[in-house]
Chain A
């Protein structure tokens, strides 16, 4: 964005290096973009809450909220207003400063990630050259927020829930981070835009189908992201065992809604990261990045919008998958969860990194092998998707129900 602001200044006839208002303008635009980003995060979180309720309902053979607004679309607005109007309770024994500050730590940790997410070809707040590193680092702030909220609630249940959640998130950062290193290796850069540019628009150009280990890395990353976001099957801190909400037991009203905003917004973040790193981000099929840069005028705008749509589409698909998983799987127990992380995912991700490095050397020597592998994997995945669709249809037919997506909304 800095170049864009600089070009704006030049357009006004000033030199960015010497103009006295440069920094001020930078600051103003930073504030503006932060405002836009946080609004986007919050509104998308609200919309996902509505979408989750409707998707969940449809999967459970019922109808979700459909009275408030068209298709119940304003339900989340009504819920937000209700939460805002609730009594602001702070327990008497709670640590007043930390109790109030904890949600904001989580919001910050969550919102800062949006800075590096590439929404389209040019739409990124700051294309840092340490993009992924920055993202992994900043999401750790969420853990701080959780522990603070659990401890400052002055309730044993909350503390246990918080510690458990913290253990979960910290443990799963390792396989998640290692899995994210694989696209970094393949692309050769930590910058998010750079990683996307190293991929292409066609499926076989995506990193997920590059070699079997990056394929596995995608799943390792996805599972770790689920755990980081406290989503089922890893939602033990929230819904179960203590039978009260764990670290957000004592919270009510708007503070409570911050926690859930972060959870739903995290769905977007983890899906966007998955899209960026493994699925080619905003890349369009027939347009290479160099050609894209060279476009001007109307085609440039059209392509820009198309790339935004592609990115949003892929991300929303993964958001749907996250929701879908929540309503399919049971919860995993805490010791089984730690088991899975340390005995299955961590060794797999380390092995993956080593093998991908080796693979890159092999492909460097024998290029056609790389291409062959890509096509084979794409083929396998396509066949898998088709089989899954057929299985779903068979499910429908076996129980004697009819395909019906249009009635009883």
Chain B
């Protein structure tokens, strides 16, 4: 490739070309050097961060800057829309479901954002219905230990946070100044690693919520009692004895009756259907009583371990489901406003909008009044809600995903 090693544009034999070369070189020197010298007399654009700046750099950043994330738990509705929107699973939310009566329907045990893994794309901020998750203007968070880069917005798992219920039709939501929460959570550079939980602590956490060794297993006992109740269905005194075994046996009178005999007799006679009056028995008693009553109504012990062993939260739902196991679905038996209430109850109740309706109310109305057939839309409700909706509206189990 001879051209690539070519001599300068013209062969330096002709005097004219020679002189032109020299002149062009001199001209480039002149122009180039004047430009560089002129730059010497201009102010350098360096910002001497962090100590020789006029204003702290944090105050010069534009409003839309995507720094560390911050979640204001006071306005978080636990809809998990941000968790679903994040492409790299940086946000981790653990929801504790309750029955809505003794415990709140939803509680957040854990809301962790790993800012070491976050790519600051802003996709989580957009679907938040109340604007509780935002990008702050913080960018200084370097730490020695990676584990310190997880921001825990629910600091203690044993004190879950109740989510915010936004007022109907609200357009704006209160918020403390941006960055305060995150700044408080950012650890110092040399903060020690968070302590790794010991084996005992891990075992305790794993056993949280599960029946203890050798302790009462309300699910199994409930089934036993239900089977016994079925066998003595028509013998009221014997039924009362079975029911009393499901209670605490303290004769405290909290249930409104003078003693356990009174309460269990009322249930056996059919005079009282409330199952949650036994305060000392608590949730265990309630679930056992419900199991017994369900089995009396249906005539069969709730056989699959899954159904009665479900947590207290799904017992009322199980009750609703079990009430019409083989008959027509509730959508055909209940009047529209009753159906509305049942369906609304089955939803997550977070008003997140992921279902393409404005809120849970809208989706419920769509299903009940407008003939919406897509029952898979409630994302925060997850599989629970899906099962319930299919059961209510179609009387069947939902198809596998």
Interface residues of A in 364-409 (CB under 8 A from B): 388, 391-393, 395-396, 401-405, 407-408
Write the nearest CB–CB distance from A54 to chain B, whole angstroms.
10
Cα–Cα, bound, A407→B52 (Å): 12
A328 and B36 in contact, given A335-B5, A404-B42 (Cβ under 8 angstroms): yes
For B18, give the chain A residue with the smallest CB separation: A344
Which of A55-63, A124-132, A236-244, A286-294 lies on the face that meets chain B?
A55-63
> Which residues of A are found within 8 Å of B7, using beta-carbon distances?
339
B8 touches A408 (CB 8 A): no
A59 and B36 in contact, given A339-B8, A344-B22 (Cβ under 8 angstroms): yes
For B28, give the chain A residue with the smallest CB separation: A329
A401 touches B36 (CB 8 A): no
Cα–Cα, bound, A335→B8 (Å): 10
> Which residues of A are found within 8 Å of B38, using beta-carbon distances?
392-393, 395-396
> Which residues of A are found within 8 Å of B44, using beta-carbon distances?
57-58, 61-63, 408
B43 touches A388 (CB 8 A): no
Cα–Cα, bound, A55→B29 (Å): 18
Cα–Cα, bound, A66→B8 (Å): 43
A408 touches B34 (CB 8 A): no
How large, as a class, is the contact surface on chain B?
A: 20 to 34
A60 and B22 in contact, given A335-B5, A392-B34, A408-B44 (Cβ under 8 angstroms): no
Cα–Cα, bound, A59→B8 (Å): 30
A-B contact count (CB 8 A): 76
> Which residues of A are found within 8 Å of B43, using beta-carbon distances?
401-402, 404, 407-408
Interface of B, secondary structure class, is helix
Using an 8 Å CB-CB cutoff, how does the interface string of B235-261 with A read, 1 for contact, 0 for none? 000000000000000000000000000
B39 touches A59 (CB 8 A): yes
Write the nearest CB–CB distance from A114 to chain B, whole angstroms.
29
Interface residues of B in 372-399 (CB under 8 A from A): none
Cα–Cα, bound, A405→B46 (Å): 14
Cα–Cα, bound, A7→B36 (Å): 51
Query: B203 an interface residue at 8 Å Cβ cutoff?
Result: no
> Which residues of B are found within 8 Å of A57, using beta-carbon distances?
44
Report which residue of B5, B22, B35 has the largest number of chain A beta carbons within 10 angstroms of its beta carbon.
Answer: B35
> Which residues of B are found within 8 Å of A55, using beta-carbon distances?
40
**In the complex, which of the residues B12, B21, B22, B41 contacts A396, with contact meaning CB atoms closer than 8 Å?**
B41
**In the complex, which of the residues B5, B18, B32, B45 contacts A62, with contact meaning CB atoms closer than 8 Å?**
B45
Cα–Cα, bound, A67→B43 (Å): 18
Query: B300 an interface residue at 8 Å Cβ cutoff?
Result: no
> Which residues of A are found within 8 Å of B30, using beta-carbon distances?
388, 391
A336 touches B8 (CB 8 A): yes
Query: A350 an interface residue at 8 Å Cβ cutoff?
Result: no
For A216, give the chain B residue with the smallest CB separation: B22
> Which residues of A are found within 8 Å of B198, using beta-carbon distances?
none
Return 28 A-B CB contacts under 8 Å, by A number: A55-B40, A58-B40, A59-B37, A60-B39, A61-B42, A61-B44, A61-B45, A61-B46, A62-B44, A63-B44, A63-B48, A66-B48, A325-B33, A328-B35, A328-B36, A336-B8, A344-B12, A344-B21, A388-B33, A391-B34, A392-B34, A392-B37, A396-B38, A396-B41, A402-B42, A404-B43, A405-B40, A407-B43
B residues neighboring A (CB under 8 Å) = 5, 7-8, 12, 18, 21-22, 29-30, 32-46, 48
What are the 9 closest A-B residue pairs judged by CB atoms, nearest first? A395-B38, A404-B43, A328-B32, A391-B34, A328-B36, A63-B46, A392-B38, A401-B42, A392-B34
A residues neighboring B (CB under 8 Å) = 55, 57-63, 66, 324-325, 327-329, 335-336, 339, 343-344, 388, 391-393, 395-396, 401-405, 407-408
Beyond A61-B44, A328-B32, A329-B29, 19 additional contacts (C-beta under 8 Å) are A58-B39, A58-B44, A59-B36, A61-B42, A63-B48, A324-B36, A328-B35, A328-B36, A329-B32, A344-B12, A344-B21, A388-B33, A392-B38, A393-B38, A395-B35, A395-B38, A404-B42, A405-B41, A408-B46
